[in-house]
């Protein structure tokens, strides 16, 4: 009995020893994790509690163009980081910084009057700092967006306090982009946060280079630059899209007015629609551009329409509705080809009455009107096509010339031009190539639907010839692209309501060169009055600039 009790005691002591050893091993493992493995994170947390963090690099992944040119995280700015009190006390230094800052005087003074104890002043160039100074620092800070805010409406913007994408690509790929690499400078203060202790500490967090960390777009940076520069030089409001005809890739997309992605608050309160991407987010009456839809509906019903002659008396009457032609005295006897080139309203209303509203709207749907193109941006709208009672009676007059309840986005117009230039083959357009690593290596490509035929090749070629005639002898005859292969397209002038008043927007959509077209270009100008005067010159300039960088 005594031996049995001794064995039990021995067994219990042995088990207790095992438990003690196990606990000891676990404690050693925990200490290793805290002191060695997780040392950096703990140190960073400690620094955050008693210091100030200066972000040296955006906490988001890079967005690239098709050639892996960074569209974000590309601009480095030399920045002075200094206690505000120190700068205010040193008048000589204050004056030197004021002369050298990239900020406006108003913004500079706002920073000086802020409650911040530690301030950041972006500089035009580096300044010399006295040796031994440990309370002021010269650092290079990489901005998320460049100063010219190139491609702002496509890239979108972020909520800085939460590092959350609020619009554009930033919003669509927020979960992926917010896992980008992080580089920070921690400046350590004393307990009262009055004195800087021990200078600054640089901290980096680099994710696995093989993990998803970037987005590659179809945008071509040099062409995007051409488009935005052209719009700004002409001080126009509206939008421009340039697309690759063979692939359906969006090479450039710009909207005006532009906005500063680093300072969104003022635009949220504004009424100039600066935050709207007018290429996809707003729909407008297409005006005479819709005559392309009417033409294709007629050709698909009977190609012999091309040989029919018409008479334009200067207006058309449909019950109690009178619609004037663009030429007050009328065009007289005129062929369909010349009526298209000169954008004759009377002839296309007559043609619309022959076809009927249903046939025209069905053709519009085949060409992608009234639905999203799903290019990779959430803000895209569907536009509008009339239906039901909106197709009855005198409505055919407005439908035939792209007015009334018809609304389209510049993207939808571009889609139509790509289809015609591809001889009736519709491409699945996109502005996103795919998801990449942080260094731009492709991981997953953006899904694209297969090409599909929506117009016969024969009728598409007829439409191409008629678009060429617009440039040769019609409403866009001011265009001279003879030295770069010629161009084709259609003008449009559309009545609309803007800010509660009537106005006329200007359109021109087309492609170049004429043989083996490469680029489809849509130009929309708000309050441009005439597409011939406002949109055509911009189309011509963009074509010539693209040619100059590709020859």
Phi, psi of 95 (to 5 degrees): -65, -40
Cα separation values, 95 from 83, 132, 227, 373, Å: 16, 21, 39, 54
Residue 491 lies in a domain: yes
Residue 309 lies in a domain: yes
Q: Which residue did the predictor score with more confidence, 205 or 191?
A: 205
pLDDT digits (tens, 9 = 90+) for 357-394: 999 999 999 999 999 999 999 999 999 999 999 999 88
* Residue 287, Ramachandran bin (φ over 0: left; ψ between -120 and 50: alpha; else beta): left
Residue 115 lies in a domain: no
Residue with tokens 């004393």: 190
Q: Residue 270 CB: number of other CB atoms within 10 A?
A: 12
Looking at the DSSP assignment, which residues form a beta bridge with residue 199? none
Residue 173 lies in a domain: no
**Is pTM, for the whole model, over 0.75?**
yes
User: Which element (helix H / strand E) includes 240?
Assistant: strand 238-244
Q: Which of 202, 221, 150, 209 is nearest to 180 (CA)?
A: 209
| Res. 277 pLDDT band, cuts 50 70 90 | very high
Full DSSP string of 310-367: EEE-SEEEETTEEEE-SSTT--EEEEHHHHHHTT-HHHHHHHHHHH-HHHHHHHHHHT
Write out the two tokens for 500.
């509660």
Residue 195 lies in a domain: no
Residue 368 lies in a domain: yes
Q: How far apart are CA 473 and CA 494, in angstroms?
A: 21
- What pLDDT was estimated at residue 104? 86
Tell me whether strands 75-83 and 63-64 are parallel, antiparallel or unpaired. unpaired
Query: What is the domain count for the chain?
Result: 1
Over the chain, what is the mean pLDDT?
A: 89
Residue 185 lies in a domain: no
Whether the per-residue pLDDT at 50 is higher than 80: the answer is no
- What pLDDT was estimated at residue 440? 93
Residue 307 lies in a domain: yes
- What pLDDT was estimated at residue 39? 52
CATH number, domain with residue 469: 3.40.710.10
Give the percent of the chain with pLDDT over 90.
68
Q: Which of 333, 294, 295, 342 is nearest to 313 (CA)?
A: 333
Sign of the CA dihedral running 341, 345, 347, 351 = positive
**∠340-345-347 over CA atoms, to 5°?**
65
The residues, any chain, with a CB within 8 Å of residue 48's CB and separated by 6 or more, are: 186
Q: How far apart are CA 33 and CA 35, in angstroms?
A: 6
Indicate the SS3 state at residue 267: helix
pLDDT digits (tens, 9 = 90+) for 489-526: 999 998 887 777 789 999 999 999 999 999 999 999 99
- What pLDDT was estimated at residue 299? 97
24 half-sphere exposure, CB direction, 13 A CA radius: 6
Q: How far apart are CA 256 and CA 270, in angstroms?
A: 14
Residue 534: give the domain boundaries: 221-264+275-550
Q: Where are the beta strands (DSSP E) in 37-194?
A: 51-57, 63-64, 75-83, 118-122, 137-143, 158-159, 164-165, 182-189
The answer to whether the beta carbons of residues 343 and 319 sit under 8 Å apart is: no
Q: How far apart are CA 242 and CA 248, in angstroms?
A: 10
**∠514-336-368 over CA atoms, to 5°?**
60
pLDDT digits (tens, 9 = 90+) for 71-121: 999 999 999 988 888 899 889 899 999 999 998 888 899 999 988 888 899
pLDDT digits (tens, 9 = 90+) for 415-463: 999 999 999 999 999 999 999 998 999 999 999 999 999 999 999 999 9
Q: How far apart are CA 54 and CA 40, in angstroms?
A: 17
Neighbour-count burial of 336, counting CB atoms closer than 10 A to its CB (0-12 exposed, 13-18 middle, 19+ buried):
buried
User: Which element (helix H / strand E) includes 432?
Assistant: strand 432-437
């Amino acid at each position: 009995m005594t031996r049995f009790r001794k064995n039990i005691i021995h067994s219990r002591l042995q088990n207790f020893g095992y438990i003690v050893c196990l606990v000891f091993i676990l404690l050693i493992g925990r200490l290793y994790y805290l002191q060695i493995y997780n040392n950096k994170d703990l140190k960073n947390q400690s620094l955050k509690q008693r210091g100030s963090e200066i972000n040296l690099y955006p906490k988001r992944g890079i967005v690239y163009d098709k050639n892996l040119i960074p569209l974000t995280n590309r601009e480095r700015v030399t920045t002075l980081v200094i206690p505000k009190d120190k700068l205010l006390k040193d008048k000589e230094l204050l004056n030197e910084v004021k002369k050298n800052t990239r900020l406006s005087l108003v913004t500079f003074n706002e920073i000086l009057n802020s409650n911040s104890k530690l301030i950041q002043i972006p500089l035009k160039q580096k300044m010399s700092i006295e040796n031994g100074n440990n309370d002021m620092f010269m650092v290079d800070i990489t901005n998320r967006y460049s100063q010219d805010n190139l491609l702002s409406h496509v890239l979108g913007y972020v909520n800085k306090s939460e590092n959350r994408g609020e619009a554009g690509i930033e919003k669509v790929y927020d979960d992926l982009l917010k896992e980008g690499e992080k580089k920070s400078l921690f400046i350590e203060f004393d307990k009262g946060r009055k004195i800087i202790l021990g200078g600054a500490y640089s901290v980096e967090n680099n994710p696995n280079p093989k993990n998803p960390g970037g987005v590659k777009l179809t945008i071509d940076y040099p062409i995007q630059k051409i488009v935005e520069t052209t719009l700004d030089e002409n001080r126009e409001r509206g939008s421009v899209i340039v697309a690759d005809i063979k692939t359906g890739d969006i090479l450039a997309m710009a909207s005006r007015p532009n906005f500063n992605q680093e300072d969104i608050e003022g635009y949220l309160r504004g009424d100039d629609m600066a935050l709207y991407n007018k290429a996809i987010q707003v729909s407008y009456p297409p005006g005479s551009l819709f005559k392309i839809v009417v033409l294709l509906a007629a050709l698909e019903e009977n190609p012999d329409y091309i040989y029919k002659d018409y008479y334009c008396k200067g207006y058309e009457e449909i019950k109690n509705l009178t619609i004037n032609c663009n030429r007050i005295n009328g065009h007289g006897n005129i062929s369909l080809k010349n009526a298209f080139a000169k954008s004759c309203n009377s002839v296309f209303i007559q043609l619309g009455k022959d076809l009927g509203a249903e046939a025209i709207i069905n053709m519009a749907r085949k060409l992608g009107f009234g639905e999203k193109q799903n290019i990779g941006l959430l803000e895209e709208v569907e536009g509008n096509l009339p239906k039901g009672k909106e197709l009855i009676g005198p409505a055919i007059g407005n439908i035939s010339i792209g007015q009334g309840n018809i609304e389209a986005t510049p993207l939808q117009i571009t889609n139509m031009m790509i289809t015609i230039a591809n001889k009736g083959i519709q491409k699945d357009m996109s502005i996103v190539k795919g998801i990449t690593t942080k260094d731009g290596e492709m991981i997953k490509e953006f899904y694209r639907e297969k090409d599909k035929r929506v117009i016969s090749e024969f009728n598409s070629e007829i439409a191409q010839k008629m678009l060429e005639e617009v440039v040769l002898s019609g409403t866009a005859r001011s265009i001279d692209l003879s030295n770069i292969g010629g161009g084709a397209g259609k003008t449009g002038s559309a009545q609309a309501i803007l800010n509660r008043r009537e106005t006329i927007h200007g359109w021109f959509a087309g492609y170049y060169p004429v043989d083996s077209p490469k680029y489809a270009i849509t130009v929309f100008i708000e309050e441009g009055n005439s597409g011939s005067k406002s949109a055509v010159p911009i189309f011509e300039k963009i074509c010539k600039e693209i040619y100059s960088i590709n020859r």
